[in-house]
């Protein structure tokens, strides 16, 4: 099935050649707009359900596309710092700062960005399909010390403003796993911060660390990581996950399949119970996924029972997710 989706994606995207500046990549279920420096949000693409053509992170469902980051602020980005010297890339703040582009290579379903920060670090963001789940892209982030001297403190920040279709600027956000992840310095719902990890990022509404269903409001997620010392010539690798699913239970199942340690979920303010449908009118309301592994935590979602660990979880909510999926299939069968 995945091979068929990849073939379709290749046909649709025309298999643009390598070394292309920015790329919209897809596996048929998830679509990412990857910019040169490894940040999301690029122009182009087809219209989503709101009519928007720019692409950041999209969930694809029965021919419809649901965008979650390109509306309004193009705020998805990252930054790194070595002993207080920083570089960052976030399109809402203009051109990348303190970084130099080494290469950007892509296919219809993959992208690899290699950058340097002065003569201190080389940073690689390698985007590829998660073999365990059709609902996730895995980004292997490798940070190498090329300075010739030991670095005492390596910081990394990833900033994400959720703008979830079908109701951009009005979403719920959940963050989980930060309490058990030793590399997490801080996390909150402010997706509008600078991606420079040396710049302070304060919560907007007081939601910090782990929290459930903040909002609905125009909010996002910011994660700060401290990876400690990085010796000369050594590298550190961790993983980021981007994706989407029909509802909360399906999103947690996807995160369980890849062994996520920390995550953020964003979804429409229409869907308080997060079953994948608007509470008033039954409009489709996907759950969008942003996660991490290799950040000093443990796998927080049991892959054998993915809805039983993160709060709130109940048999009733699980049943509602199954009913929602059944209703979705019945709806498409009638079309």
pLDDT tens column, 50-67: 999 999 999 999 999 999
77 preceded by a cis bond (ω within 30 of 0): no
Domains in the chain: how many in total? 1
216 preceded by a cis bond (ω within 30 of 0): yes
Residue 246 and residue 189: Cα distance in Å, rounded? 22
Lookup: tokens for 43: 């122009």
Write the CATH number for 171.
2.70.98
Residue 65 and residue 55: Cα distance in Å, rounded? 10
Q: Which residues of the chain are under the pLDDT cut of 50?
A: 1-19, 309-335
Q: What is the pLDDT of residue 301?
A: 81
Q: What is the pLDDT of residue 5?
A: 43
- pTM for the full predicted model: 0.87
66 forms bridges with which residues in the sheet?
Answer: 59
Main-chain dihedrals φ then ψ at residue 55, nearest 5 degrees:
-125, 125
H or E element that contains 161? strand 154-161
HSE of 96, CA atoms in CB hemisphere, 13 A: 23
The domain containing residue 326 runs over which residues?
Answer: 2-334
- Show the DSSP H helices in the chain as ranges: 2-13, 248-258, 315-334
Round to the nearest angstrom and report the end-to-end CA distance of the chain. 22
As to burial, measured by CB atoms within 10 angstroms (0-12 exposed, 13-18 middle, 19+ buried), residue 204 is: middle
- Provide the 10 A C-beta neighbour count for residue 140: 15
HSE of 161, CA atoms in CB hemisphere, 13 A: 25
Residue 155 and residue 98: Cα distance in Å, rounded? 14
Cβ atoms of 254 and 135 closer than 8 Å: yes
């Amino acid at each position: 099935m995945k091979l068929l989706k990849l073939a379709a994606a290749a046909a649709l995207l025309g298999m643009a050649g390598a070394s292309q500046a920015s790329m919209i990549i897809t596996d048929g279920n998830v679509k990412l707009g990857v910019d040169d420096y490894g940040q999301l949000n690029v122009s182009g693409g087809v219209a989503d359900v709101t009519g928007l053509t720019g692409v950041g992170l999209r969930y694809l469902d029965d021919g419809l596309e649901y965008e979650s980051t390109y509306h309004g602020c193009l705020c998805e980005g990252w930054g790194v710092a070595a002993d207080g010297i920083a570089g960052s890339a976030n399109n809402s703040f203009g051109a990348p700062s303190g970084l130099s582009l080494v290469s950007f290579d892509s296919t219809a379903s993959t992208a690899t960005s290699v950058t340097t920060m002065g003569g201190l670090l080389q940073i690689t963001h390698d985007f590829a399909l998660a073999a365990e789940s059709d609902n996730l892209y895995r980004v292997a982030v490798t940070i190498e010390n090329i300075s010739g001297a030991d670095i005492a403190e390596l910081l990394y920040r990833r900033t994400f403003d959720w703008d979830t279709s079908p109701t951009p600027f009005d979403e719920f956000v959940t963050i989980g796993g930060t309490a058990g992840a030793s590399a997490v310095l801080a996390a909150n719902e402010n997706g509008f911060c600078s991606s420079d990890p040396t710049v302070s990022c304060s919560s907007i509404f007081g939601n910090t660390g782990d929290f459930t269903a903040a909002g609905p409001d125009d909010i996002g997620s910011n994660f700060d990581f401290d990876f400690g010392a990085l010796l000369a010539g050594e590298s550190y690798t961790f993983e980021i996950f981007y994706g989407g699913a029909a509802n909360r239970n399906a999103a947690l199942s996807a995160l369980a399949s890849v062994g996520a340690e920390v995550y953020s979920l964003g979804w429409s303010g229409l869907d308080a119970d997060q079953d994948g449908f608007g509470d008033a009118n039954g409009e489709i309301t996907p759950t969008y996924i942003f996660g991490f592994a290799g950040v000093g935590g443990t796998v927080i979602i049991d892959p054998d029972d993915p809805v039983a660990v993160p709060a709130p979880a109940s048999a009733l909510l699980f049943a509602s997710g199954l009913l929602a999926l059944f209703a979705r299939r019945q709806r498409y069968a009638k079309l």
